[in-house]
Structure 1
């Protein structure tokens, strides 16, 4: 009897769960590495009601969509654990990934114990790797965005889902994209007040791409549910509206908003101020977590929304040998798309070298991927990151919060020192040199360095921000204990 193929899956969100479940279904031995304390990712985030409570499936679907899909994937996942064919490593991250000479993959792991202390480092070797690390909120600097009480829209939602905590009682949400709607719904259901949703797009872009959303009716139904919530809770939804400044002495207290014209420029005289604000949630799309994939040198491209994403074939295989990718790392598109991609990736990963699934065997998933990718393109085209922000910055507006580098310093480095990409900005100003290593400021620094040009120079600048051999902060001792290189 031949030895089972060992598939490592990084991430246990929709894509990772689906990849693990389908790799198991096709006879693989699976290890799933997850930064959270239980499967579900950001989309199916669970709450630990009391300290010390054992993780488990929530009793109902409150605050979640596609719950039946989760229960089905979780049942397969838990069955794999019970059968000994799946090893689940929660609270664990991969800080380095390397290809061996025999094209197997070695992962360096770091994890936290239940007490929050660092567990001993470990190494995992697998035949195939599925990267399903997802994405996080893209951040755009706005005057006053570094005040306490200002956070990403995703953080507002995560606090509600994960901790049952409202980030504030009087919240303004701003940015662009449909994600602002579920966040507003979560806040309203948790008892908070959403004073306004400021959507920078005028939404006319949807009219140019009606075919794509009509092909995914579930998205329309979900959107209708959110619109009903806005009406029921009397939440103002302001199109073509942006936050120009956030005000407060020691924390956020008010915001200035303004309307924009079709070019994205602020309309003079349209400004107004919203008072008595204790939280601002900003959402300008998402940034993919590609650090582990770029470590293998896989081919990437700039997606419609300005995100760098991994190139994959129809079965989710990247240009790296035995390295597959699924979910948001191949392009921001939502949970249904991630599940379909994960399902295909899991099947492909479980097969022998050079083998591929028959298209007929994954026809349903391939159809879902095609439709949801078209929907995602339409969404990104209708909700472009607004151009107003770079011209709205004040000289002392902080762009890199780790190193406290201001917009004035970055622009000076660009104009006087010819620092025209994120890497040279990092060298001349230290922007991106801090704890987050450019995860927060990399997009903004690239925009400022390239004067807003979203073409080749911008794409290369963004790509440079991902070049991190060590993907997360780890103790120096773990690096010192590394062997020189992975061997056969």
Structure 2
């Protein structure tokens, strides 16, 4: 009898996992909180837009065809609007809510699969700076989501800043929906970026596709006369009621500000992206071990929990190609098939790109010098940098747990998903704790009778 595989997430990793699990003969159930598959990378327009060529606003026709091929397969069940809110370790039982998150009619169901693949992805890494809480300041991912998924520009005059190649497609998406992109600022100096991408040049051939993609983005910026500057960062946003201007400055390799290089730029929106952080909450609930915040996996993408696999950004930030390569290995292994050497080699080659990414676009340790005592770090609870510093220096109540209770940083609606990594970096020590309820759920939904296991 074929194995039942459940996959959480329909980004590049989840879709590749589903495809290869189906090829290996498994019965597959694919879950995602979104109403449409694809994740951030392959985000689609809502069906109400009735786009004649929806594949043209995504990264290639091939991936669009994969989505359609996988989700219409007779052995695949596609559950959009499905939130996994808990995981029972003893029975390896997934607790799922089906339905739109903003309505009260969601149905509770459970799944007990033979194998589980976690492809929950990552979200924007945010580094606070004075004024970052102002309306009009967006993460790069949010700006791109609105542009790609809704054809909405976050502003008329936008500055894109941060670090990493993701800034380039974000700028392109903003240009496509009519925004004026003032500039793209890469915080790392040119020497750092060049060293990361040109080290061991004989290995670059396997990443020729990615290189071509970056060249295309660069050509788009040049054609639209959008400056791309390295070694410069946004260190402050200003405005009454919403952002009206930003202060940029030249920064050194460690991201410390070079005095006297501050410049003011008028904008009505700014999007900042400093890489990504994984979303391992469900993996932690399942009992999977983490390494520096990422889910630990073996050669077949299996975690430290038997029958639970992980792929994509929750195992390491490496981009869509790496995520899909890991998903392919995980899907085949979860279906009980023998490892495919070709898939393993493709995954290992893709991971080389991830290593270059980290070397070329690191986070400089001196970014905290941008902060002032009244700079908000936790937006949910409006906890400031000064409050965190004073609490961390309190010898009476030492440790990350006391820091959290004393300042409430990380205890708001986002449960530390945004500020958690920053607080940990600033005052070292916040760790991922198991939460019985992984995603928000209404008390009425929690009390409602659950459906029969599937």
Q: Whole-Å Cα distance in 1 between the matches of residues 318 and 396 of structure 2?
A: 36
Q: 8 Å contact 2:12–2:327 — kept in the other structure?
A: yes
SS at match of 1:399: strand
1:89 aligns with 2:79: yes
Q: In the alignment, what sits opposite 1:254?
A: 245
Q: In the alignment, what sits opposite 1:454?
A: none
Q: In the alignment, what sits opposite 1:42?
A: 40
Q: 1:236 to 1:369 in 2, by over 3 A?
A: same
Q: 8 Å contact 1:311–1:319 — kept in the other structure?
A: yes
Deviation, structure 1 residue 401:
0.7
SS at match of 2:107: coil
Q: Whole-Å Cα distance in 1 between the matches of residues 88 and 408 of structure 2?
A: 28
Q: In the alignment, what sits opposite 2:300?
A: 315
Q: In the alignment, what sits opposite 2:280?
A: 290
Q: Find 1:476's aligned residue among 439, 443, 446.
A: 443
Q: 1:216 to 1:86 in 2, by over 3 A?
A: same
Deviation, structure 1 residue 134:
0.6
Deviation, structure 1 residue 264:
2.3
Deviation, structure 1 residue 111:
2.9
The size of the alignment, in residue pairs, is 448
**Please, what TM-score do these two structures have when normalized by structure 2?**
0.93
Deviation, structure 1 residue 333:
1.0
- 1:312-461 paired onto structure 2 within 5 Å: 312-351=297-336, 357-358=338-339, 362-417=340-395, 422-450=400-428, 457=429, 461=430
Deviation, structure 1 residue 188:
1.2
Deviation, structure 1 residue 132:
0.5
Q: Whole-Å Cα distance in 2 between the matches of residues 115 and 398 of structure 1?
A: 28
1:15 aligns with 2:2: no
Q: 1:374 to 1:142 in 2, by over 3 A?
A: same
Q: In the alignment, what sits opposite 2:210?
A: 219
Deviation, structure 1 residue 201:
0.6
**Structure 1 portions without partners, runs of 5+:** 303-307, 451-456
Q: In the alignment, what sits opposite 2:53?
A: 59
Q: 8 Å contact 2:136–2:269 — kept in the other structure?
A: yes
Q: 1:204 to 1:165 in 2, by over 3 A?
A: same
Q: 1:418 to 1:337 in 2, by over 3 A?
A: farther
SS at match of 2:358: helix
- 1:194-273 paired onto structure 2 within 5 Å: 194-205=181-192, 206-208=194-196, 209-211=199-201, 212-273=203-264
**Structure 2 portions without partners, runs of 5+:** none
After superposing on structure 2, the runs of 4+ consecutive aligned residues of structure 1 that deviate more than 6 Å are none
Residue by residue over 1:320-354, the C-alpha shift from the partner in whole angstroms, topping out at 9 and shown as x without a partner, is 01000111111111111111111111111111xxx
Deviation, structure 1 residue 50:
3.0
Deviation, structure 1 residue 238:
1.4
Deviation, structure 1 residue 224:
0.1
Q: 8 Å contact 1:420–1:449 — kept in the other structure?
A: no
Q: Whole-Å Cα distance in 1 between the matches of residues 424 and 335 of structure 2?
A: 39
SS at match of 1:47: coil
Q: 8 Å contact 1:111–1:119 — kept in the other structure?
A: yes
Q: 8 Å contact 1:216–1:375 — kept in the other structure?
A: yes
SS at match of 2:298: coil
Q: 8 Å contact 2:36–2:46 — kept in the other structure?
A: no
Q: 8 Å contact 1:204–1:382 — kept in the other structure?
A: no
Deviation, structure 1 residue 24:
1.5
Q: Whole-Å Cα distance in 2 between the matches of residues 418 and 10 of structure 1?
A: 43
